[in-house]
A and B are shown apart, each in its own frame.
Chain A
């Protein structure tokens, strides 16, 4: 099945710093979504982005489906950005099979 790798696995940032999280996938995908899991365990939708670029406030995401990767940009990080960031993909032709990456754990320190 498709492999989804996220990097880096862990990241510590000073408040105000910028960061880029990466999601690589090993095969063609129909859909891709980024989530933030906050320290209380809640999964929050960030972007549904099978291709192209989207922005929402300090966050933006880009998916280059032909090159099999997606990037999540966090600018001017805040302590509330802490948590785990997951990408999830659906293989082309296998729409029932969703694969989550193992996540990037982000800690933003004051």
Chain B
């Protein structure tokens, strides 16, 4: 039972490049979330998916897109990376919509140069 798995763990991009962060959970949870963590700012919600087939914006969605591919997988895409998107990205899953007990992936450390 792996829980929540994120790939890659580290990535360096040049400004303007695109990439997709992958997240998969094996706990049969309905809700999945993407957060970013910047120094001294805690975690901020980018997008979430309350259930398969639905996605909604969070606090800081600009510059990102998401896809809920199936119940297990929720990906985050940067179409044209900017230095302001340098951050650590976390995926989380929960049993149902709304915050119940959250389980986080290991994080992806992204640097945009």
Query: Using a CB–CB distance below 8 Å, which chain A residues touch chain B?
Result: 30-31, 33, 35, 41-43, 45, 48, 86, 88, 90, 95-98, 100-103
Contact = CB atoms under 8 A, between A and B. Distances in A.
Given A43-B107, A100-B42, A103-B42, A95 B102 contact: no
Helix, strand, loop or mixed for chain B's interface?
Answer: loop
A96 B58 CA distance: 9
Given A41-B107, A41-B109, A43-B90, A95 B45 contact: no
A45 B99 CA distance: 14
Contacts, number: 51
Contacts of A97: 45
A43 B101 CA distance: 13
B79 interface: no
A64 to B, nearest CB: 19
Interface string B39-71: 011111100101000001000000000000000
Contact of B104 (A31, A43, A95, A102): A43
22 contacts: A30-B99, A31-B98, A31-B100, A33-B101, A41-B88, A41-B107, A42-B107, A43-B90, A45-B102, A45-B104, A48-B101, A86-B43, A88-B99, A88-B102, A90-B98, A90-B99, A95-B98, A96-B97, A96-B98, A100-B43, A101-B42, A102-B41
Report, nearest first, the 3 A-B pairs whose CB atoms are least far apart. Answer: A95-B98, A100-B42, A48-B101
Contacts of A100: 42-44
Nearest to A84: B42
Nearest to A86: B42
* Of listed A41, A45, A101, A102, residue having the most chain B CB within 10 A: A41
A95 B41 contact: no
Nearest to B44: A100
A100 to B, nearest CB: 4
Given A96-B56, A102-B41, 17 more contacts: A30-B99, A31-B98, A31-B99, A31-B100, A33-B99, A35-B104, A41-B88, A41-B106, A41-B109, A42-B106, A43-B90, A45-B102, A86-B43, A88-B102, A90-B98, A100-B43, A100-B44
